[in-house]
């Protein structure tokens, strides 16, 4: 399925569930994700952008930005009203390095990426450092998606769904 503007209706995609799970998990585990090696522990938080769409629509129907939009009543109302996440801006910390990225659409495109600062020493070192940090960011997001995929295909998922539903409804 494509998220273009051709008028073809889109259906919810597994990445919408992944983005919702990231949001829920980050709030219920104080943002700590214990991932398998080589990534290890990562702290994740929802940053300053959430974008929703209706499952049958290709265009965004609600965008929340600013300081802590994930705590807003409007964000929960969008979920409770049946909208799905299409974009989610997250911040992550691994060791002492912080990354920011907007995960967008069914392909989880990286947008508005902010990598840790590079200490410039030589002419070529900054580009190598930036490439290393980008690879590290991709490794972290891949490990998060793998963790989600393993959970999503396990029997444990049936225990997680009611917890997420209760959270969306404001019961937790």
Task: Provide the Cα torsion 116, 97, 22, 111; round to 10°.
Answer: 10
Give tens-digit pLDDT for 5-54. Answer: 444 444 457 999 999 999 999 998 889 999 988 999 999 999 999 999 99
> Which of the pair, 128 or 133, is modelled with greater confidence?
133
Q: How confident is the model at residue 124 (pLDDT cuts 50, 70, 90)?
A: low
pLDDT at res. 11: 47
Q: How confident is the model at residue 138 (pLDDT cuts 50, 70, 90)?
A: very high
Give tens-digit pLDDT for 60-70. Answer: 888 989 888 99
- Given a cut of 90, whether residue 99 has pLDDT beyond it is yes
Measuring CA to CA, how many Å separate 167 from each of 71, 84, 160? Answer: 12, 15, 11
Q: Calculate mean pLDDT across residues 118-141.
A: 84
DSSP one-letter string for 33-67: EEPPTTT-EEEEEEEEEEEEE-TT-SS--EEEESS
Domain residue spans of the chain: 14-166
What is d(CA 111, CA 106) in angstroms, rounded to the nearest whole number? 13
- Given a cut of 80, whether residue 121 has pLDDT beyond it is no
Q: How confident is the model at residue 171 (pLDDT cuts 50, 70, 90)?
A: confident
pLDDT at res. 78: 93
Mean pLDDT of the chain: 88
């Amino acid at each position: 399925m494509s998220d273009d503007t051709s008028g073809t209706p889109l259906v919810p995609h597994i990445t919408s569930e992944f983005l919702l799970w990231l949001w829920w998990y980050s709030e219920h585990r104080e943002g700590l994700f214990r991932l398998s090696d080589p990534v290890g522990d990562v702290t994740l938080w929802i940053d300053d952008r959430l974008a929703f769409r209706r499952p049958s629509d290709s265009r965004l129907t609600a965008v929340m930005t600013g300081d802590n939009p994930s705590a807003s009543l409007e964000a929960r109302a969008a979920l409770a009203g049946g909208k799905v996440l299409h974009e989610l801006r997250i911040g992550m910390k691994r060791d002492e390095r912080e990354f920011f990225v907007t995960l967008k659409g069914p392909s989880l495109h990286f947008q508005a990426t902010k990598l840790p600062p590079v200490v410039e020493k030589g002419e070529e070192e900054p580009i190598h450092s930036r490439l290393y940090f980008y690879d590290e960011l991709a490794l972290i997001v891949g490990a998060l998606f793998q963790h989600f995929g393993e959970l999503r295909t396990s029997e444990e998922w049936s225990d997680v769904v009611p917890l997420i539903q209760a959270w969306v409804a404001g019961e937790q």
